[in-house]
Amino acid sequence: MNIENRSELIAFAGQRLKAAPAHKQITGIYAGVTLALTVLFCLADYLLQLQISQTGGLRGMGSRAVLSAVQTVLSYLHKGISMCLNLGYLSAMLRIARGQYASRQSLRLGFDRFWPLLRLTILLTLIYMAIGLGSVYLSTILYLLTPLSQSLISVLMPLLSESAALDPAALLEGAAYEQIVAAMTPLFIISGVVFLAACIPVVYCYRMAEYVLIDRPGQGALAAMKESSQLTRFRRWQLFRLDLRLWWYYAAAGLVSVIAYGDQILPMLGLTLSWSAQTGYYVFYGLSAVAQFFLILFLRSRVEVVRSLAYDSLRPKEQPGNGVVLGNIFQI
């Protein structure tokens, strides 16, 4: 398959899925485990937050510190398990894309590759954080050197009175805060545009790093990133256009993400909630988890098989007789 023939690639992915009915069981298990983990860790976080709110005063500082540390550990534990399950799911979809046998045992692959996968995740996170910081810095300079910053200056000058200088917190209260945020809207827009412009090429540069970890068990994170960069060189535009053909999945994923912020979006629309802000947060987070379950169950497999076929189309073809058996690392 050729990545430039996007319609054929997507159609062939559908054929591979029809020929492998086991993908429904694998996807169902992955979606169910993902939902169960989210609900479990969300419930634990909610209970810990209740305990923290009940330990007030100086005497409760130690308890609050311990409970907050447990919250942080549980959050990272949830992310780590989800990271491993995701790689296992990718490996199963890669096998299906290649017409090979796949079973639920493939979901364990991420735990077998835990340390290389963890290093890869950390390295990519650091890269994206650096891009984010650089984008904010560059955007701030552009904002301050253009007339766009005049609105912010006009808002700040009356506030920088002698009384405000004695009480800096007054600048961040009530109408003053809203005026400052409104005046900085162009800065937020510029930062977002700069970040996307810098981040998208990097995303497609390392898009195949996880597949390399699956295919090359002896390689580490840096080697996987390097090979991904080589595979996607001069093909990143084609990968981007392929993703555009999968717009329906990204639209659904965006809607799922929006649901998670329902407790913040509804008040902006003038709708008030009868429960507390903390309860609203967990309610909408739970609704988002349920929506994520259905997204995975009905849409994810098609997308991942398409991506797997795209990876195979970029991979150098193995020469016969060289001792390499494609996909034998998945044999169960």
Q: The whole model's pTM is what?
A: 0.88
**What is the count of structural domains for the chain?**
1
Distances (CA, A) of 33 to 18, 112, 287, 316: 24, 18, 16, 35
Distance CA 310, CA 3 (A): 6
For 233-253, what is each residue's pLDDT tens digit? 999 999 999 999 999 999 999
Give 71's contacts (C-beta < 8 A, 6+ positions apart): 45, 48, 49, 52
**Interval 272-300 mean pLDDT:** 89
Q: How confident is the model at residue 319 (pLDDT cuts 50, 70, 90)?
A: very low
Over 80: is that where the pLDDT of 330 sits? no
330 falls within a domain: no
For 72-115, what is each residue's pLDDT tens digit? 999 999 999 999 999 999 999 999 999 999 999 999 999 999 99
Q: What is the pLDDT of residue 171?
A: 56
Q: What is the pLDDT of residue 327?
A: 46
Over 60: is that where the pLDDT of 42 sits? yes
Range of the domain at 191: 6-314
321 falls within a domain: no
Distance CA 9, CA 14 (A): 9
269 falls within a domain: yes
Tokens of 14: 């559908």
212 falls within a domain: yes
Residue type, 111: F
Among 295, 285, 323, which residue's Cα sits nearest to residue 45? 285
211 falls within a domain: yes
pLDDT exceeding 90 applies to what percent of the chain? 65
Neighbours of 28 (CB within 10 A): 15
Backbone angles phi, psi at 235, to 5 degrees: -125, 5
Q: What is the pLDDT of residue 326?
A: 43
328 falls within a domain: no
195 falls within a domain: yes
332 falls within a domain: no
For 158-179, what is each residue's pLDDT tens digit? 766 645 554 555 555 556 677 7
**Mean pLDDT lowest for which of 142-151, 165-174, 176-185, 308-317?**
165-174
Q: How confident is the model at residue 320 (pLDDT cuts 50, 70, 90)?
A: very low
